[in-house]
Amino acid sequence: MNRSAVRSSKAPPAPSGPPSASRHSRSRRWRFWVLVACFSTPLLGLGVAGALWLYERRWLGWAGLLFLGGETIAYLLFRRWSRRGDRLLPQPPQVPPAEFSPREQEAWQVVREYEGRIERGEIMPTSFEQLLSLGREILERVATFYRPGERDPLLAVPMPLLLRAMEETARDLATITADLPLAHRITIGDVIRGYHLSQKLRPAYNVYRVLSPLWSWQHALVRMLVTDRLFALTRETLNQWLLRWYVDRVGYHAIELYSGRLLLTKRIDDAPPLSSETAKILGEEHTLQTEPLRILVLGQVKAGKSSLVNALFGEVRAATDVVPTTTQLTTYVLERPALGGKVILADLGGYEDPSATRGRTDEVLAEAVRSDVLILVLSAVNTAREPDCRLLAQLRERFARQPQLRPPPVIVALTHIDLLRPPLEWTPPYDIITPALPKARSIRDALDAAAAELSLSPEVIVPVCLRPDRIYNVEETLVPLLVNMLPEGKCTLLLRTLKTLRDREQWELVGRQARAAGRFLCAFSKEMVKKSLVQVLAKSGL
Ligand SMILES: Nc1nc2c(ncn2[C@@H]2O[C@H](COP(=O)(O)OP(=O)(O)OP(=O)(O)O)[C@@H](O)[C@H]2O)c(=O)[nH]1
Ligand SMILES: [Mg+2]
């Protein structure tokens, strides 16, 4: 079949390619059929000879049953492994991307809805055009989500950004499909030709299907019950797999585009630029070019915030006392390889400090919005949790009002556990998973009570002792939990610094455009001067 046969009849005739190209494709096809023949003839011959051999020994019936058994098991296993969550091919993740803010997660519902419709078999594009219109429909839904009142939300983005989104989508899909066996060798033309060939051979195959029970009823039964269904299932699985990835990637990049996360020359996960405020904290000799993670230590007065800072440094850095000592924002630069290098630790003092200014809670909330991980310090012996609950509720409310930001993950350090009952007993380590000792039981009770009162998961609460001569569970549990939270904290950091990154890109683009305009004006004026000179010289007859 030549190339023009697979083109749509409505398409204008394409200019014929160079003769060497068509000669090359003819020779490729010829070689392909020779390979197919060399490969399949011995196999077919063996099959026929084997069947005859079995028939002579009257074993063909048993062999047929064995074949039927094997195919049935393959069919059942294929069905089982193709089920949701346990599929043969890698599927798009079921959860929204971790780097999304709550607003983007809400927009992700559009993608989930389309995935559900694919799952229920409600979407089955049969042509390329239908696939494109499905992509456009998803873009439109996402655009309307972000710009609900606008007349044409789809067009409310600059052209270069739309092209960038298309480029990224295409790149993702190319990477995904490249993993299919032989995907890099088989051309789209091969697939279409294969489809047409199968359509052509279908009548002959149907005749064979009708007649085949005459010479082997077992084989016909196997094919009807198993093989045909297996092929249909494979085709369906492959179609659905491709479609699911298509919806996932188009939806993802549509959200990136319309949420404003997509940049033209940079990527949101590029190293975030260092802010001037952080540069000031780091001092003049710093060599950091990117914004480090910012960890805010917060809690009531005397909860043990400064003691925690000291424990993390392994030395005294922050003043601790029984009377309020930290009354204003104090920042420390902590360098630990496990935390990925330098991080900034910020301690604001207790939010219930009676000596502090009236706006202390607002200060804490504003600081939390600028932080990537929060460590809430609670004293196990102070059961007045009302201020902590209020602060957490205010934090949730503040982030609900700014859904484009990602709330920082919260870790709770439950301090003063050495003072829990029995106060004189101190023989760490304590097993709080299956507490046997009275002290371990008290710690476990304090942890469960804090989790229930603050509506937090017990997994993010770490009981610690910060008394300088009894430091316990900071390196063993708190630091590893902090390390676990770093990827989440990094996502918060990227969204927090997105505006700076975008502003920087805008200035770079303005600079580039100004330079290009300058070059154009220069060339234009040169040309004008040259033309005028020629005209003047021509007029003056020189
Ligand atoms: N026994 C015991 N004492 C602790 C523990 N943690 C902190 N302390 C003591 O509690 C007192 C207050 O600790 P700080 O670290 O200053 O508390 P803070 O939260 O920074 O207090 P402010 O800055 O005033 O808000 C100090 O005397 C600490 O030594 C602990 O786990 N066990
Ligand atoms: Mg302090």
pLDDT at 289: 82
Q: What is the pLDDT of residues 36-51, one digit of tens each?
A: 788 778 878 888 888 8
Tell me, using a 6 A CB cutoff, whether residue 301 lines ligand 1.
Answer: yes
pLDDT at 28: 58
> Kind of pairing, strands 341-347 and 330-336?
antiparallel
Q: Which atom of ligand 1 is nearest to the CA of 320?
A: 16
Residue 511 has pLDDT above 80, yes or no: yes
Location of structure tokens 């369906």: 236
Q: Whose CA is nearest to atom 13 of ligand 1?
A: 304
Q: Which residue has the higher pLDDT, 407 or 274?
A: 407
Instruction: Give the Å distance between the CA of 65 and the centre of ligand 2.
Output: 79
Closest CA to 487 of 332, 274, 293, 248: 293
Instruction: Give the Å distance between the CA of 453 and the centre of ligand 2.
Output: 24
78-102 CB burial, b ≥16 within 10 A, e <16: eeeebeeeeeeeebbeeebeebbbb
Tell me, using a 6 A CB cutoff, whether residue 304 lines ligand 1.
Answer: yes
Q: Which of 111-115, 181-185, 203-207, 418-422 has the lowest average pLDDT?
A: 181-185
* pLDDT tier, 126 (very low <50, low <70, confident <90, very high otherwise): confident
Q: Whose CA is nearest to atom 7 of ligand 1?
A: 304
> Kind of pairing, strands 293-299 and 341-347?
parallel
Which numeric CATH code is attached to 280-496? Answer: 3.40.50.300
* pLDDT tier, 6 (very low <50, low <70, confident <90, very high otherwise): very low
Q: What is the pLDDT of residues 214-253, one digit of tens each?
A: 666 666 666 666 566 656 556 666 778 888 999 999 999 9
pLDDT at 184: 64
Mean pLDDT of 200-223: 66
Q: Which residue has the higher pLDDT, 306 or 12?
A: 306
Name the closest ligand to CA 472: 1
Question: How far, in Å, CA of 42 to CA of 40, rounded?
Answer: 6
- Measured from the Cβ of residue 520, the count of other Cβ atoms closer than 10 Å reads 10
Question: How far, in Å, CA of 275 to CA of 523, rounded?
Answer: 39
Instruction: Give the Å distance between the CA of 374 and the centre of ligand 2.
Output: 16
Instruction: Give the Å distance between the CA of 466 and the centre of ligand 1.
Output: 7
Instruction: Give the Å distance between the CA of 66 and the centre of ligand 1.
Output: 75
Name the closest ligand to CA 379: 1
Q: Whose CA is nearest to atom 3 of ligand 1?
A: 467
